[in-house]
Amino acid sequence: MKIRLGISFSTTNFQNYLRWFDPEVHAGKVELVELKANFSTLSDFESCDGFVLSGGCDIDTALYHGTPEYPHKPEEFETERDHFEASIYLHAKNHQKPLLGICRGMQLVQVVEGGKLIQDLGETANLIHKKAGNTDRKHQIQVSEGSLLAAISQKSTGEVNSAHHQAIDPKQLGENLFISAWSTDSQSPEALEYQNKENQAFMLCVQWHPERMEEKEQNPFSENIKQSFLASIIHSR
């Protein structure tokens, strides 16, 4: 029986998420479901076995009482998408369905759980993390010992990509969230998972983009995450 995997729609590089799961789709193991604000319904959520929250535009500052004006603020927020993806996350959490958050998806989970964001990393850290034109940055991460991410990757350090100018505020973490990886250069949070995992489904968020890494099939911070996520869906059904 195929896994039905719901992926939240992004106007930015959405095809990369579909291509990431292509091998499993062609093997008949996975069916991908595009979830989009104002089009998808509760029945679409209920039909999915797991969820991916994709990357994209900054989250509306009103959702976390952020400063209205800040460097690199987008011309427009996607507030409907914010609320829609919050409902995806809460559905997954309340129904114990596995969820993977990527970049913006990680920040959304932080906000829904009552945490805050660093609205702009500043000039120095942006040179490490903010996308340079159409090119992702690359940097090293340190994985927290004993974390879910450490168990998945079987690595304590590694290289990942990034394309963001915002970050999780480690001083104001959301409820029951734990930072499971840090950037070694900027000391920015790079991954989130639940602190107390009892009675919780798989939930991992990463600030990088595993779906578009170079040599992602060989990188444990892409391939291991994907395979562990899919295995968790199978085990949870």
Q: What whole-number distance in Å separates Cα of residue 228 and Cα of residue 223? A: 8
Q: Which of 139, 164, 165, 209 is catalytic?
A: 209
Residue 223: count other Cβ atoms within 10 Å of its Cβ. Answer: 17
Whether 72 is catalytic: no
Q: Identify whether 165 is a catalytic site residue.
A: no
Instruction: Given the residues 24, 85, 193, 211, select the one marked as catalytic.
Output: 211
Backbone φ and ψ for 183, nearest 5 degrees, come out as: -70, 130
Residue 58 gets which letter from DSSP? P
Residues in the chain: 237
Active-site entry in 48, 103, 165, 205: 103
If one counts every other C-beta atom within 10 angstroms of the C-beta of residue 65, the result is 8
Q: What is the CA radius of gyration of the chain?
A: 16
Question: CA–CA separation, 89 vs 119, rounded Å?
Answer: 22
CA atoms of 232 and 237, how far apart (whole Å): 9
Of 181, 211, 178, 212, residue with least CA distance to 195: 178
- Residue 57 annotated in active site: no
Catalytic residues: 103, 209, 211
